[in-house]
Chain A
């Protein structure tokens, strides 16, 4: 069996998936591609940087889509099967892929009437935008302290996200308090303290093994006393299937609700872009437990496409608010669906 499967995963084919295709291979005119490279190198605006950082995602997904358009002049069933393959491999999931393709099939009729692949591409982008919904920036308290709770399963990057977010609010001139409510993982508190130092934010901490709710309480008290603009609470990673740990998280939320009216203003679920369909179950359970208001999609700088975000938006209505596109402190960005889709389909649409 091993040999059989491996034969279909030869070095070249895996590479083909992993690395950006050369433009010529992707079916785009090379002059145009060259032009874009220069453009990306010069412009350092947010869009340019995001576009650049998402290059791998785009080259992966759109590269394949373009290759598809380049190869196949007829929009037949086989074409849609290939499109299905591309979407499924981006972790979009069976259900969301179905929805996107249904929309496209409707559009295909028009395209056959004299339009082109370009129209279909536009259609696909619109479908994606339709699923992602409008841009939703981070919530902020009308006055007083804004509380952001950061939750998620183990290893998605919660502490790092808290650190980067703190850094960002500090850079905006805000007074920030980080609450070390992850009292479980060994050295999680130390990790947060290092981030606090880097960002110039106060860290409220107890000992390892302490009560996360008590840390949250102290963080809120400190915020009131010091008139902080933000409290960002780091919580321990927990699998959504651990009922007792989900109860613990609910308690942290209750403490925050009680101490600061209107809080928490954001409950961010940190999702790893490499995760597959289980992310939907995670999102559902965390939403039920602590009413998640948004997703921070981390590790988008690898080859993973993070397509499960579409399914989560579609099934649970939770918007993506932040994306992590690198290890640098400035690599945690606001998620803008239009920008995201533009970056995904940039080359094709700009043509």
Chain B
């Protein structure tokens, strides 16, 4: 346990700096990166045991894995973490299972204050827009004014609400609603139940009886996105007692990282079907596992860089480059090529800021990244003749003058580019002939003008 999440980024950079330039993910390196991931997940309120098992699985998968040419080992670990998280959260299953024999019954259950009543209205609104004819059932007969709350919301979305009086038997209300739905031709019955503790046997029994009476197609657990470690106990107990079919994660419009999404999925195996993202009745959205994974991990910027780097990386060119380095044929043209590849990835300073450890690379720290300079370098190379690019040794004083004029720069700029090229070529030569080394060179060489 190092320190807090606030300086997580700083520590990640340190870790990744050490992880750089290694061909395979070693056990110790992976452990180091995963220690930070562990803290990130705990701070996101993913259950302690879920984190433990998750880390164990990723470690198993990551150790010894070849590092993709376009990524640093640190990025590679994060990539694995992210894809495992996404996989664990399941595919997109934001669909209500409709009963072949209507009405389809949807029961909403959960702790007090998780957002069942609001979710019921949002769900009714959504299904109505999909052409269904839902009816809402106020089976929360315990909380003062809960019935009235559902009635107000029902009116807002234009859906009938079946209700009796406070204190009435909730199971009977549900039964009555079933009869009512058939008689007035409604095909979906959404039951809002009273909030209750999962350890309240009597009230859990009530839900079990309601389930037996109404045979719901969907038993949705409504979970507050801000829930902490206890989410596993709640979800596991509700699932055991009632057989959940899915989860609705509410209040996701705040800044909670929402680790409960992962915890509940892990202990129940049931998908998150919808997320609540606001107070309006329209604010119910499908669940996207990839977005959620990235939110829980809290490393969105690193992830988007990984994506960009992978998209821009050209395997064939890398192979050719490797060959050229082997035969000492790395030329200014290749140099310019690398620059263009860089440009594809995005604005330079944005990229640098996204790369963990970049700020610490030797000689990089005081370099002010400047898109204009990148363009100048390219212009200079483009102003050379093909012969000059292949063999810079022939560039004498008068050629320099011409190149400077052609590229709209000064002779000093041309000199500095030539000097940088020399340095890069020397650096590349040191790597020798191995192709893997060339890949590394490609990564390092991706910023040859950065000094």
Contact = CB atoms under 8 A, between A and B. Distances in A.
Do A and B interact with each other, yes or no?
A: yes
Interface of A: 1-2, 4-6, 8-9, 11, 14, 17-19, 56, 84-85, 88-91, 93-95, 97-98, 101, 153-157, 184-188, 190-191, 193-195, 208, 239-241, 272, 274-279, 281-282, 299, 301-305, 308
Interface residues of B, number: 65
Interface in B53-101: 53-54, 57, 84, 87-88
A239 B152 contact: no
B383 interface: no
Contacts of B145: 187-188, 190-191, 193-194
A6 B226 contact: no
A303 B230 contact: yes
Contacts of B29: none
B197 A302 contact: yes
B360 interface: no
Contacts of A193: 145
Interface in B84-143: 84, 87-88, 111-115, 143
A260 B19 CA distance: 61
Given A2-B88, A2-B266, A191-B145, A276 B226 contact: yes
25 contacts: A1-B87, A2-B266, A6-B267, A9-B236, A88-B48, A89-B49, A94-B39, A101-B1, A154-B115, A155-B224, A185-B149, A187-B146, A188-B149, A195-B144, A272-B113, A276-B228, A276-B256, A277-B228, A278-B254, A279-B228, A282-B226, A299-B113, A302-B230, A303-B230, A304-B229
A94 B42 contact: yes
A4 B259 contact: no
Contact of A241 (B1, B87, B144, B253): B253
A157 B112 contact: yes
B199 A56 contact: yes
A95 B449 CA distance: 42
B39 A153 contact: no
Interface in B231-259: 231-234, 236-237, 240, 251, 253-257, 259
B43 interface: yes
B227 interface: yes
Nearest to A152: B113
B144 A89 contact: no
B272 to A, nearest CB: 13
Given A274-B228, A276-B227, A302-B197, A94 B57 contact: no
Given A190-B144, A278-B226, A155 B251 contact: yes
B327 interface: no
A18 B257 contact: no
Contact of A91 (B1, B5, B229): B229
B4 A95 contact: yes
A156 B145 CA distance: 16
Nearest to B152: A186
A19 B156 CA distance: 42
A271 B260 CA distance: 17
Contact of A278 (B42, B88, B255, B269): B255
Contacts of B49: 8-9, 89
Nearest to B44: A277
Contacts of A93: 42-43
A154 B118 CA distance: 11
Given A8-B49, A88-B48, 20 more contacts: A5-B88, A9-B232, A18-B198, A88-B229, A94-B5, A186-B156, A194-B144, A195-B144, A239-B254, A241-B255, A274-B227, A274-B231, A274-B234, A276-B227, A276-B228, A277-B44, A281-B256, A282-B226, A305-B230, A308-B228
Contact of A302 (B47, B198, B253, B266): B198
Contacts of B151: 187
Contact of A9 (B112, B153, B266): B266
Contacts of A156: 113
Contacts of A6: 266-267, 269
A188 B1 CA distance: 44
Contacts of B218: none
A19 B199 CA distance: 8
Contacts of A9: 49, 232, 236, 266-267
